[in-house]
Amino acid sequence: MSLPHDAIFAVILIGLTLFLLLYIAFYVLRDVIYFFLIHYLGFINQFISTENQLNIISELKKIKYYQNLSISGKSFFYHRVIVFMMNKHFFGDGINLSNEVKTYISASAVQLTFRIRGFYIEHIQLIRVFPKAIWSQLAQHEVKGLTTGGGVMWLSWPDIKKGFDFPDDGINLGIHEMAHAFKLTLRCESASGHQICTSITKWAAVSKYAFIKLEEGDTSFFRKYGATNMEEFWAVNVECFFEKPEEFIKLYPEIYFSLCKVFNQNPLNAINDYEL
Ligand SMILES: [Zn+2]
């Protein structure tokens, strides 16, 4: 007995549709899935060699934010770094993509999302790393970093490194670009925007006066570049939030606490893994 052609065609069609749906579900949830497998089920050796694991940990130990974490906080942070590395495509444009390069860049993203459970910077797909500042056709000038709406990030490696070598000066290229990518992931302008958007709206409302002050030339706290527009002001705010929290809370407590809400963490509470 053989199945009629129509039935065979229907079975193939259903099979292909199911496969496609499963693939899409995996693609959308891949950060969550990999994190679950690595952090909760301990499947790290299946994805990354022991040598690379040791290299990544030794790089993380140089990062101030990571140094302050508890043992469990360090484990959580490290596993999130691994997931970020696995799910992004890194491309070295005239530069060797060492573990140091990839770890610092990944740590920038993880720092922002560390206390937001289940949230990952999904907007970025490709990270191009350069040995110096790059000419941008889009911006029509040299840039140290750039994050496009299409999911590509450009980064100058010496400036990424400088950001972490001087963790208290309010300038950190990795944090800056990831702050743009964070906002792009939220898609606050669309109807399906994330719930964190409400906290960003609150930040925009309470920071308006500080932005006007900066536009008028008051660079006593935020650097001049933040006056470019509200998007750059946002990224500069995030840099200061993580690098100069003591000064930030004294000068602009309302803005500081609005950012605490956005990132669900308090950089001043290092002793408790930055818990809010
Ligand atoms: Zn920017």
250 Cα to the center of ligand 1, angstroms: 25
- pLDDT above 90: percentage of residues in the chain: 83
Confirm whether 148 is domain-assigned: yes
CATH number at residue 213: 3.40.390.10
Confirm whether 124 is domain-assigned: yes
2 Cα to the center of ligand 1, angstroms: 64
The number of folded domains in the chain is 1
Burial (CB count within 10 angstroms: exposed 0-12, middle 13-18, buried 19+), residue 59: buried
Give the Cα separation of 24 and 202 in Å (integer): 34
143 Cα to the center of ligand 1, angstroms: 9
Classify 264 as helix, strand or coil.
Answer: coil
Domain limits at 255? 44-272
pLDDT tens-place string over residues 12-33: 888 988 888 888 777 778 899 9
Sequence-distant (≥ 6) Cβ neighbours of residue 55 within 8 angstroms: 99, 103
135 Cα to the center of ligand 1, angstroms: 15
Sheet harboring 145-147: ordered strands across? 89-92, 126-130, 152-156, 145-147
pLDDT tens-place string over residues 37-49: 999 999 999 999 9
- In the chain, the amino acid numbered 205 is A
Mean pLDDT of 132-150: 91
- The residues placing their C-beta within 5 Å of ligand 1, an ion, are 232, 235
Confirm whether 28 is domain-assigned: no
Mean pLDDT of the chain: 94
